[in-house]
Structure 1
Amino acid sequence: MSADIAVRVAAARDRREIQETLARSWRHGYDGVLDGDALAEATADPAEFYPGARFERKREADGLLFLVAVVDDRVVGVCNVALGPEHTHAFVPDGAAQLRAVYVDPDHWGDGVGTALVGRGTDATGDDTPVYVECLAANHCGRRFYESLGFRPCGEGVIDLFDGTHETERFRR
Structure 2
Amino acid sequence: MDEHPIRIRPMTLADCDRVAELRVRGWQHAYRGLMPGPYLDALSVPADAARRRDRFLTGDGSVTNLVAEHAGEVVGWAAHGPYREGERHTADAELYAIYVAPARLGTGIGRTLLAATLDHCSDHPRLLLWVLRENTRARRFYERAGFRADGTEETFEAGGAQVPEVRYVRESRA
1:156 aligns with 2:153: yes
Within 2, Cα distance between the matches of 1:28 and 1:38?
13
Given the superposition, is the C-alpha separation of residues 152 and 137 from structure 1 closer, same or farther in structure 2, using an over 3 Å criterion? same
**Structure 1 segment 103-114 matched on structure 2, within 5 A:** 103-114=99-110
Contact 2:22/2:100 (<8 A) preserved: yes
Question: 1:33 maps to what in 2?
Answer: 34
Distance 2:167 2:87 in 1: 9
**Could you tell me whether the CA contact under 8 Å between 1:34 and 1:163 is conserved in 2?**
no
8 Å CA contact retained: 1:76, 1:105? yes
* Residue of structure 2 equivalent to 1:5: 6
Q: CA deviation at 1:129?
A: 2.3
- Give the structure 1 partner of residue 17 of structure 2: 16
What is the rounded CA distance, in whole Å, between the counterparts of 2:133 and 2:87 in structure 1? 16
1:82-127 per-residue CA deviation (whole Å, 9 max, x = no partner) reads 1x35xx2449972100000011111110011111111111111125
Ranges in structure 1 where 5+ consecutive residues have no aligned partner: none
Higher mean alpha-carbon deviation, 27-36 vs 122-131, is at 122-131
| Residue in 1 that maps onto 2:165 | 168
SS of residue paired to 2:42? helix
Matched residues, number: 167
Cross-structure match for 1:62: 61
Q: 1:128 to 1:65 in 2, by over 3 A?
A: closer
Percent of residue pairs bearing the same amino acid type? 27
CA RMSD, 1 decimal:
2.1
Task: Give a deviation string over 1:109-166, Cα, whole Å, max 9, x none.
Answer: 0011111111111111125520001001011111111111100011211122344221
The answer to whether the Cα contact below 8 Å between 2:155 and 2:164 also exists between their aligned partners in 1 is yes
| Distance change >3 Å, CA 170–CA 163, structure 1 → 2 | same
Letter in structure 2 aligned against 1:171: Y
Residue 46, structure 1, aligned to residue 45, structure 2: yes
Secondary structure at 1:138 match in 2: coil
Given that 2:95 and 2:127 are in contact with CA atoms closer than 8 Å, whether structure 1 keeps it comes out as: yes
Unaligned runs of 5+ in 2: none
Once the two structures are superposed, residues 40-72 of structure 1 have per-residue CA deviations (whole angstroms, 9 ceiling, x without a partner) of: 122xx3112x14244441464321111111112
